[in-house]
């Protein structure tokens, strides 16, 4: 028996191989430091855990939730979007709760893409963007994101025939794995382009709150006209260290969101009400100034420890101004995979080879800032001793 051909779209051989080799080294007694997966290592704030405990103890929370999310949840999202971005949304049909943005991103193509429809996807890119299109039977057209183009897609370079056939474009800023950011000017160009060719824009903003040096990421929906063609995914996972709770949402154009809500109402019945209440507490307390960007500050200090440390040992990498990743150009003479596997063997450090995110990622590795500063200092020391750079 063989699983479906569709399944091949889902598993990345590189991630599996890295894990296998990591486990083998651990069995041999090596203490491996894993900067591979982008999963927050810190717990949520104490008052959020308390909100979850209270929610779990409330007997009213155990009926089926509705898949669009409670009205209170949707209203809090609209309040937070107004507070954070100055974007006005209607809680009735412009907000949909999700079991993580992964849920929404994975199902969006099922809601909109038929065989032969083209989706414009960034390369490198977060794997589900391309995988979801393949699952739905659509066609992927990759938009290369390179250092030369500032990690922004070159819209002019997209052939006319593709523009006309394209039904959707996926964007992601601040970006995983590139840690690149986009400004309002770029989003304006996207809106103009998408309107001209009638392309749906799906912007993934999972890192909207993880920004450094006073930089504040902008929402795609801040641009005039964006809501006519676009939606935006946002998540509590990274912004509030709630990744394990599985709570996120999509906002924007009601016509674009509705088919996604139909798909989801057939597949799941929504997010546990106690979890929605944690999200409400997180957004409300943020509006009331109780967070003060403390999570971003943690990643910012870690970034400085790692990037400054690497620079001291002769490996110069760009300092990102957002996300929890460093996108590091590797020394000449290595392929991304050889470099990552050798770093694992010699130094016991897991990073992800850039080509795991698309062919344009070759020549880079992604390093996740998911360990504390003293561990990152050890990472620098181990890299130095391995002699792999400098
Ligand atoms: C982590 C991540 C997600 C998934 O977030 P969830 O809301 O936890 O599903 C989506 N997009 C990007 C770019 C991410 O890095």
- pLDDT for res 39: 93
Q: Which atom of ligand 1 is nearest to the CA of 238?
A: 1
* Residue having the nearest C-alpha atom to atom 5 of ligand 1: 101
What average pLDDT does this structure show over 302-306? 98
pLDDT in tens, 38-73: 899 999 999 999 999 999 999 999 999 998 999 999
Gap between the Cα atoms of 197 and 163, Å rounded: 6
Which residues in the chain are classed under CATH 3.40.640.10?
Answer: 46-287
Entry pTM: 0.97
Instruction: Say if residue 390's pLDDT is above 80.
Output: no
Q: How far apart are CA 170 and CA 358, in angstroms?
A: 15
Domain 46-287 in CATH 3.40.718.10? The answer is: no
Task: Note the CATH number of domain 5-43+293-386.
Answer: 3.90.1150.10
Residues with CB under 6 Å of ligand 1 are: 38, 100-102, 126, 172, 176, 204, 206, 235, 237, 243, 248
d(CA 292, CA 288): 10
CB 327 within 8 Å of CB 320: yes
Mutation to probe ligand 1, out of 100, 246, 268, 358 (largest number of atoms < 8 A from CB): 100
Looking at residue 316, its pLDDT comes to 96
- Domain limits, CATH 3.90.1150.10, in the chain: 5-43+293-386
What percentage of residues in the chain have a pLDDT greater than 70? Answer: 100
Give the pLDDT mean for 184-190. Answer: 98
Question: pLDDT band at residue 11, thresholds of 50, 70 and 90?
Answer: confident
193 CA → ligand 1 middle, Å = 26
Residue burial 242-270, b: 16+ Cβ < 10 Å; e: rest: bbebbbbbbbbbbebbeebbebbeeeeeb
3-state secondary structure at position 232: strand
- What 3-state DSSP class applies to 15? helix
Average pLDDT of every residue of the chain: 96
Q: Which helix (H) or strand (E) holds 13?
A: helix 13-27
Q: Give the distance (Å) from ligand 1 centre to CA of residue 206.
A: 5
User: What CA–CA distance (Å, rounded) separates 266 from 134?
Assistant: 21
Of residues 12 and 384, more confidently modeled: 384
| Per-residue pLDDT reduced to its tens digit, 273-291 | 999 999 999 999 999 988 7
Quick one: pLDDT at residue 93? 98
Residue 141: strand, helix, or coil = strand
3-state helix, strand, coil split of the chain in percent (to 5) is 50, 15, 35
């Amino acid at each position: 028996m063989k699983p479906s051909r569709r399944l091949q779209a889902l598993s990345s051989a590189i991630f599996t191989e890295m894990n296998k080799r990591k486990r083998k080294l651990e069995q041999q007694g090596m203490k491996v430091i894993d900067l591979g997966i982008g999963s927050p290592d810190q717990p949520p704030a104490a008052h959020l855990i308390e909100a979850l405990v209270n929610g779990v103890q409330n007997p009213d929370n155990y009926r089926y939730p509705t898949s669009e999310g409670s009205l209170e949840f949707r209203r809090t999202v609209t309040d937070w979007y107004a507070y954070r971005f100055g974007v006005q949304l209607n809680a009735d049909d412009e907000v949909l709760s999700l079991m993580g943005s992964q849920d929404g991103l994975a199902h969006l193509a099922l809601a909109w893409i038929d065989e032969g429809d083209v989706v414009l996807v960034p390369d490198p890119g977060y794997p589900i963007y391309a995988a979801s299109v393949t699952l739905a039977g659509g066609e992927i057209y990759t938009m290369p994101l390179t250092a030369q183009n500032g990690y922004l897609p070159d819209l002019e370079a997209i052939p006319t025939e593709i523009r006309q056939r394209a039904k959707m474009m996926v964007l992601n800023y601040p970006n995983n794995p590139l840690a690149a950011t986009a400004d309002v000017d770029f989003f304006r160009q996207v809106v103009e382009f998408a309107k001209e060719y009638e392309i749906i824009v799906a912007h993934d903003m999972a890192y909207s709150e993880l920004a450094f040096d006073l930089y504040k990421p902008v929402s795609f929906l801040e641009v005039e006209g964006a809501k006519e063609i676009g939606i935006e995914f946002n998540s509590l996972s990274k912004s509030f260290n709630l990744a394990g709770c599985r709570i996120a949402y999509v906002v924007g154009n009601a016509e674009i969101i509705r088919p996604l809500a139909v798909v989801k109402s057939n597949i799941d019945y929504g997010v546990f009400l106690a979890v929605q209440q944690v999200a409400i507490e997180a957004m409300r307390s943020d509006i009331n100034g109780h967070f003060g960007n403390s999570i971003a500050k943690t990643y910012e200090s870690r970034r400085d420890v790692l990037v400054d440390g690497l620079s001291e040992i002769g490996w110069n990498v760009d300092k990102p101004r957002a996300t929890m990743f460093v996108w590091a150009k590797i020394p000449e003479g290595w392929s991304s995979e050889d470099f990552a596997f050798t770093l694992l063997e010699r130094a016991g450090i897991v990073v992800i080879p850039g080509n795991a995110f698309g062919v344009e990622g070759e020549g880079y590795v992604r390093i996740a800032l998911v360990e504390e500063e003293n561990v990152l200092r050890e990472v620098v020391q181990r890299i130095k001793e391995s002699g792999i750079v400098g």
